[in-house]
Amino acid sequence: MSIVSINPANGKQLNTYATLSIDEVREKIEQTHQAWISWKKSDHETRSKLLTNMAGVLRKRKEELAILMANEMGKPITQGIGEVEKCADCCDYYASNGAAHLADRLIQTEAAKSYATFQPLGVVLAVMPWNFPLWQVFRFLAPALAAGNCGVLKHASNVPGCALVIEEVVREAGFPSNVFQTLLIGSSMVSKVIEHPHIKAVTITGSNKAGIEVATKAGSVLKKAVLELGGSDAYVILPDADLQLAVEACVNSRLINSGQSCIAAKRFIVVESVAPQFTKLYLDKMQAKVMGDPLVHSTDVGPQARKDLRDELHDQVLKSIEKGATCILGGKVTPGDHAYYPPTILTNVKPGMPAYEEELFGPVAAIIVAKDEADALRIANDSEFGLGSAVFTRNVEKGEHIARYELEAGSSYVNARVISDPRLPFGGTKHSGYGRELSSFGILEFVNIKTVYIK
């Protein structure tokens, strides 16, 4: 079997890659396990130095890596450069903070000495998506390596070049052979990989369906799993919001990565007294964005990653319109062998529509009008998802209260768009998954928290 990569901007084939047999997969897992036996004994100074090296390799190769992402999944090149720099920052963060996050924690008991210590688990399987083909991997990989774990990667099948280049970067940074390896396999083989006795845990970023399958399999063999799944982030616009600031944040969040982000703003819930003004400003801002060749630096919105994904998105838009939504921008597919979808705005969005109920994974904004603040918060939480959220108000004290207590999400921001940051824990609630990545919380997901008690 083989994996074929296709350029979504023009439909042209980029490359063909042979997939691994089950015996080859088992061999690679064994190699990574043997690497872990040595790597787990490495000290924090060694790990820190190599993570710093990896940050340097990423920065040195950022233009090349951004071009690769643009060609394989359509990411605008300026955003691709930013993604590589963010990966480097993540490596630097764990180089500087890994030892402190893993420091023993003394606990006073009747013992002469008692404490919690954090020991690596072993080889972690990462099942990763195409939308941030480097960042999604490095935000798992940097803390995993800093903790003394090793990793194998099953990447999305439309970004095999990105999957292989990550392995190159790890080697170029000077890490020991096989501490990280890419497995070019299809989704059907993931279950067998999870079953392997040397795989100690699994982390997945992906769809709810994929997350359920991975969690079910991991649970059946008693292995830890971290799930970062879909999102339909609600941004609540209160009557006293700074509308210029809110619209800027809302448009930028909706269009990041051409709309293909779990934490992109997707539902804009506006109190009715400011809804007309917000909608006008939002329309003006969206109309000004440039859709085009992802290799051109002035491009804001590139193609969707695959034509089938573009077509699924368009179907959600059409079904929402059939049920009464109004399309005031975009919503049309141009002919050609490409995966472009224009920035689109739907208004009059109501329950029962895909734009209200489902995740729209592309540059489509759903504007929902609420009667008042209480109604806006009710609508925001009226979702199976709970990844990110935001509230816009000039009353910062009220905004903080809403973010802390009212919005059902793993991250809630006030007067700003939701982002992932190595310094902050990242993850969701409800059907957006469980567990956390990044910060001290992320590095502790894949360690044995061991009690040591000395009489």
- The set of catalytic residues is 228, 262
Q: Identify the bridge partners of residue 123 per DSSP, sorted by sequence position.
A: 150, 199
Residue 229 and residue 208: Cα distance in Å, rounded? 6
Here the tokens at position 224 are 């830890």
Enumerate the H helices of 61-182 as residue ranges. Answer: 62-73, 77-101, 135-146, 160-172
Q: How many CA atoms lie within 13 A of 324 on its CB side?
A: 8
| Distinct helix (H) and strand (E) counts, the chain | 15, 18
Query: Helix, strand, or coil here: 227?
Result: strand
Q: How many CA atoms lie within 13 A of 438 on its CB side?
A: 22
Tokens of 415: 């007067």
Radius of gyration, CA atoms only, the chain: 22
Residue 250, burial from CB neighbour count under 10 angstroms (0-12, 13-18, 19+):
buried
Amino acid (one-letter) located at 288 = A
Q: Report in angstroms the alpha-carbon separations of 234 from 57, 153, 365, 368, 407.
A: 37, 31, 11, 10, 9
Length of the chain: 455
Sheet holding 447-454, edge to edge: 105-106, 113-120, 447-454
